[in-house]
Structure 1
Amino acid sequence: MITTAPRGAKIIVLVLIASLVAACGLPRGGPSKRQIFSGSVLEQGDAFIVSVNDRVTRATGIVPALGFSEELINAAPVGADTIRPGDTLGLTIYENVEDGLLASAGQNASVINEVQVDGAGFIFVPYAGRIRAAGNSPNRLREIITERLDAQTPDPQVVVRRLAGDGATVSVLGNVGAQGVYPIERSNRMLTSMLATAGGVSAVPEIAQVTLVRGNATEKVWLLDLYKQPRLDIALRNDDRILVEEDSRSFTALGATGAQSRLAFESQTLSAIEAIAQVGGLNSSLADPTGVFVFRNEPEFIARQVLDRDDLIGTQRFAYVLDLTEPNGVFIARDFVVRDGDTVYVTEAPFVTWSKTISSLTGSLGNVGAVSQLVEGG
């Protein structure tokens, strides 16, 4: 005679077996929500577990502050006619006599081509001597040379012209159409016009950054801000270096998402919702929408604001929790800013663990009847 165990006993045995299998370590994509919470400072762990709300989003909503200093913004464009060290000039000197100082026999004009402005800003003109050219316009230099020659030859007439090979240049590098060294001319004295001279920007505009190096100073601005805020379209100076590159910030997505990988930011600001969408959203068959975590190391001043404490010293580990099932959960996730180096992790739903347990016992999901037969002994 075969006796059968009561149904309640079967269920108890089934649960015990499932618990035993689960305790042995079922395969999963990462820690469970319970395991993450066990690492809280409240459980003698080393991370602060913080549920995200409006106050937390405000305290942590920091994005890179890019922009030019007032010194760069207020600098006036360099005059296109201003002579600089390295410029090449052409001089024509007319003399009001048949046998002049400079002109050949039978002529009253002398042409001096390719007069190089030296590094100190000076040129040499026969009979006029060493003259400072840098900082003067061609017209002013003409007046100076005329004054110098006037004592040597009667009523000299001088023409000064700038030749090709402007000494004021800018280097343009990075994601542009044509990298190179470009002269500063009337048509490209401003930053955006110089970028156009270099063939335009080839980086994705939404994440393109423009770095300007002037002397020992390095400043950076978003490309789109150059067009949204005309005051950032600064005047260029000799030896400026311009670098165009895409934003290098990134985050890592793990767990029950559409993909597990390291991804670059696709916009200036990236919310938790956008980060999840960027990896294909939550895996509908695995994800626990109440267990969306953002792991990061917070600097001391932000950690103090978030926890409203003044006794924290140094960088702190944080695990921010987002519950997308709450009435305002999606809005909170939309406002929570993901930062460079963050890890976005989505836990598996409890049902997934249970299904894996049953599968490991029966060989097929949901085949509880097979387990009942084991319990009944037949």
Structure 2
Amino acid sequence: MQKVKVSNQCEEKSKSKVTFCSATTHILNVSKHGMRLLDTININYKDSIRKIELCEGDLTRLSNAESFDLLVISAFPNDYIPTPTSLIGSLYSRGLNVSLLSKVKEIDLRKIFSCWLSIKINPNDYSGIQFNRILCFEPLVKNLSPPELVGDIFQSLLPMTEQYKIRSIAMPILATGDAMFPIQKMLSVILESSINWLKLGLDLDTIKIVAYNEQQAKTAKLIFNDYKEKEQLKHTHKIKRDFKYDYFISYSHKNSDEAKILLDSLLKKSSSTKVFFDKNSLKAGHAWQQELFEALDDCKQIFTLLSPEYLDSKVCKEEYHIAYYRQRESDLNIMLPVYLYSANLPTYMKMIQYHDCREGATDKLFDLVNNHI
């Protein structure tokens, strides 16, 4: 170990007249450069193979050959202090100031998806930096923890991959540094989300998950290998599928009465109908997020009960986006949107034909079940 004085690095965004500068003396491990590939999970999607790579190394000391498009970092709300133990601190030591980047965000999706995207970065201006943008995972929701919100990262990327030409991303094992969440918990949810969204069609070629030292890498390899074996087993036994459920009902719990009416109508029409209804179907003590993901992927059709409460629910919106991606990548009519109560629907929700049951018109729910499905 030796002290290295990092030279001033400056980058300007002309419109805002904001200058990115930092000068600091930081202790760097100069003997260790770049990333070492530890293992890979291959995800088959249509005619292509997408990769989730587990690596060990320093995301701020990379060679040209190790470049990728987007670095995902995590931060406390509006807190970008470059502490010595954080990735934000390591970036600062290379001359890249996340606090200043946050003042000129390209797009701010924190209220919806807990993330913001930086403006474009010129890697040539920073030693060891080999990416073009930063996506900062910065949950603002007080009653939900980072493990419960990791899916937001991938949802925020859905509109970005094409618009900003993002094909490869890298991230540390998020929220395990200063936030001190357990590696086992965070890596598991990162892997689950990565695997599920790549299977659904998230347009990325590579996701790199990077452990920062040998001890973290040792723990990460065991977890990663478990997920790799599960995926290999699924691929080996993949045959023409029979869906576990006929329908999945996605709804806000504030609209439980209407959802129950829909459920009862479906079962009354045919007692053999298999419906995933979370109050009845989720097993106590299980990883509910993964169970929801699997159920959404293992049903023929998905009802989405649209309302203001639905739009306010992070879980509901994630369920909707999963259904949306399944339909986009399929020849089947998977989505069955039900417009339950008037709401300010995003344009992409309006574009899919819905069954109008405003304002909570139960007779129209009966009509939907009996005459339209």
Scaled to the shorter chain, the TM-score interval is under 0.3
Q: Give the structure-2-normalised TM-score.
A: 0.22
Kindly indicate which of the two structures has a greater share of residues assigned to helix. 2
Computing the radius of gyration over CA atoms, which structure comes out larger, 1 or 2?
1
Q: Give the structure-1-normalised TM-score.
A: 0.22
- By relative contact order (CA 8 Å, sep 6+), the higher-ranking structure is 1
